Structure 1
Amino acid sequence: MPSAGRSRRCRLVFVPVIAASVFLSGCDLVETVAPFLVGNRVPTALGEIPPAYRDWTHAPSPAVAVWPYFEDPDGDSLTFIATTDDPEVLDVRVVDGFVEVDAIGSGVAMVTVTATDTRGSTARHTFESGDIGPGAPLRPPSYVPPPDPKVPIPSLQLLRGQSVEVDLGGYFEGYRHQLSFEATSSSPDSVEVSVSDSTLTLEGVDLGWALVHVTATTPGGSTTQEFKVVVDPPMARSNSAPSFEGIHYRRVIPQGAWFSLDPSPYFADPEGDALTYTAERGSPVVIRGGERDILVPPGAVQIRVTSRGRIALTGTRPGFVRVRITATDPGGLPVNGGLIVEVTPPVRR
């Protein structure tokens, strides 16, 4: 203990903890004089990003998830940029952690993805992309293909006692003189249907709704479309079904990774009504061409619609999955849209 009247001597002790603090031994004062500088560790590139091609007719161009292939040891957030070694073949950009790739020329090129942390340190990955095929092979002259659903038949509103005619030829692609049509109603008490040549007649019999199934047939096979008809009172507000604006890119994610999609930019409602969304596994993904349809390897995803209306998707098995998204307006009229997800093998660590 220092005696009264003697000057108090203080000893400086530097302790290298989270902050550099000066402790005055024998004094009551503790003062932080400078932040402790921790060296930045650079991000790490994990595994390999597999090639992503546009390799079959009508396949959406790839949007490749790149964030699962990078890791920052300090937990810093990463930003991404993408470039290509041949801008005459590929056009690339980064949107929400996905590299969107458009094949604007024939052939393939390399894409370089650079991840940058908050202090400017970087890591890089490359993958190959492009158009590796000329599209579907020519069909032999003797081959008559099954009808192709060119555009979906929209759901519609009928007022009780009203009838509407629909030209089915505009909704199926095929040799027109070889197309024949049939239609059924799931609830004839509400909606009656009849077909003459390519004209479908719908009659609103009573309040309610029905699912109408239209089957188009050629010597090459049959194709069916389904749409909903709602019958409202004669004085009801006019209502039109929402429309699907299309999703241009297929999402490419490794097994075990997940992302969420806001579906609202891809749908529109003529009356400006708010839409609700559901999502489920859709029809298989096929390559159309030649004398038969070729089924691509089926994958699996876990699908969940969040409380905010976003669609959360987790890749659970490598392969291709079509996700069917349905938007419904307050009047009960739905429209279906589609998203293709390609699940690649899990990231190697």
Structure 2
Amino acid sequence: MDEGPTTTVDAASYFSDPDGDELDFGASSSNPAVAGASVSSSRVSIDGVTVGSASVTVTARDPPMRAAEGRQSFGVTVWPPPPPNQAPVVSSAVPAQTVTENESVSVDLDGHFRDPEGGSLDYGATSSDEGVATADISGSVLAVRGVSEGRATVTVTATDAGGLSADHAFGVIVRPPPPPNQAPVVSSAVPAQTVTENESVSVDLDGHFRDPEGGSLDYGATSSDEGVATADISGSVLAVRGVSEGRATVTVTATDAGGLSTRQSFGVTVEPAGSTNQAPVVTSTIADRTAIRGGELPLQAYRYFSDPDDDELSYRVGTSNLAVAFVRIASPAVFYVTAVSDGEAEIRVEAKDPGGLTASTSFTFAVGNNAPRVKTEAPAVTSSPGQTDWLVLSDYFEETDVGDQLNFSASSNNSGVASVSIQFHAIYGYQAKVGGVTPGEATIDMTATDRGGLTASTSSLVTVTANRPPQVTQSIGNQSLAVNDTLTWDLSHHFSDPDNDALTYTAAGGFAVTVSVSGATFQLVGATAGVSPVRVTATDPAGRTAEITFLASVSASQSIEGLASSNPRRRPRITLRHAPADGGGSLRAGVDAFGARWVRWTEAVAKDRAVLGGVPRSGHGRADDVFLLVSADRLVTLGLDESPEPLDRGLLRVVAADVEDLRDRAVLPRRDRRGHALRWRVRRQRVHRLGEG
């Protein structure tokens, strides 16, 4: 029992008289200072006086003589009284809650209140404004429900088993519900498509659907008759493939992140293979671009389309947001996209053939200033006193915003070791001129700043040593040789070392040659017909280098290039002239051809193309006709040289080792870089074989 309280025991429950007599009871304590004992009728009262143990003896006597007596004893332990009940406490504050109208947020209050005695708590909650938010309790979980836009205070009361309680209040903000998700919309109709059997036409669906919330869309497509045409989706690009002649309807569905969707359908006509007109195709997409206000992006539309029928295409470029970007027409195939104000616009480019079939692609044009970027970190530089090294800054920085311009600055943290300045070169642009001053180390910091003040920086560690690098004293020009020909150089005549260090030499070459170095002797041997770069390197004992590079042109027989240069008066030339159809300027291309017999050129043009070919017949002075192929695809030169880009200006030189090489095809463009149409004319000229007058 606890110290202080009284415990009562009914002794009659523990004694009985065989005669049924009423008993008198008495009680005594072995230690009244610990526990007192008293009797009232049959009820024995035990009082806890102080902490300790005692024994209480209860006696029972029958009334007649009170001589018969029964007794029994029991132990009593008195404990200290328990501490008083303590009120619940707030263990962590309930954070302010934000809830949308007609939605609820839940809070487990057991994580925010605690009973010091470890008991369970009952909770209650009230809202200061139930027109804004209500508060309901279920067990230990508080649910706050938004009623209408505004602010309210929710007060939570935690009560323990002893009736003590604690309150805690927190704020509630009720916001109006967001506008409902809107389904995607059709921004432009997909035009009817015509496709040939076993061919495909592609449509960028991002140019035909739009999400009102600006989100991305997922696409699906079905064909009404997959025996006629199939429809497949890859990202935002729809590919319609013709299966067999007939008509089908393709239905495209655009679905937003919220599951809402819209659809549109268009007709597909599949023509039999060999039909005359096929739709243009997108040959490459246009990357998204950024620009600053006022910047102009040139757009050569013809670079992104081709026509399977080689039809002349017309082009159209449109913008989704004239407030951000507008399109200026420079020529039928060249456009300029001008940045007007900050924001984004979708630029759509469409090509149409004379039969009305189209293809399109689009890209995002974002207006706003972006910081320049370091595209590669500047390398470490090893220098010597008096040596100058050049770091071409365009190798390390790039500005992706159309119309923006970079200014450059550079500094050295130890100008006594290495100096630096920015200089402009007509070919390489801005360069950092690094000068070695005295041996030691210095860090060169280079910074590019755009017109908006945004920057990018890179650093180069410059190590200046007393050792100076080798130098090239005489370069080696491009070489022409035949298979198995050997050319030899003494490299000591081409390199020197300012410190008089002994130099070692190495060489490397491409597939057309084999190279070897023995001491200072360098040999180049023709291995197979072709053109290969060759690099010769001189290295001093400290590892510093200088190098010479050149091209080696190897022919299957004796070098035609060498023959031509040795006898320039007998160098044959076929000259072609072409001019824009609209009269805007003129360009020139020349073709050098070397043959073993008489060859004559004749003009043969059908649908703006002719074919270069023909092998001379046996006998002196007779030959088949030789023609020139003209098309818009790319330039393939004859014989040894090859150019990967379309030619639309300058001089085209073609070297052929023999007449067999003339059967290769040369393909020339139909438009120049400004989009002007080109007309080609071949002028007849007799070509003599070399060495025969």
TM-score (norm 1): 0.39
Q: Which has the larger radius of gyration?
A: 2
TM-score (norm 2): 0.21
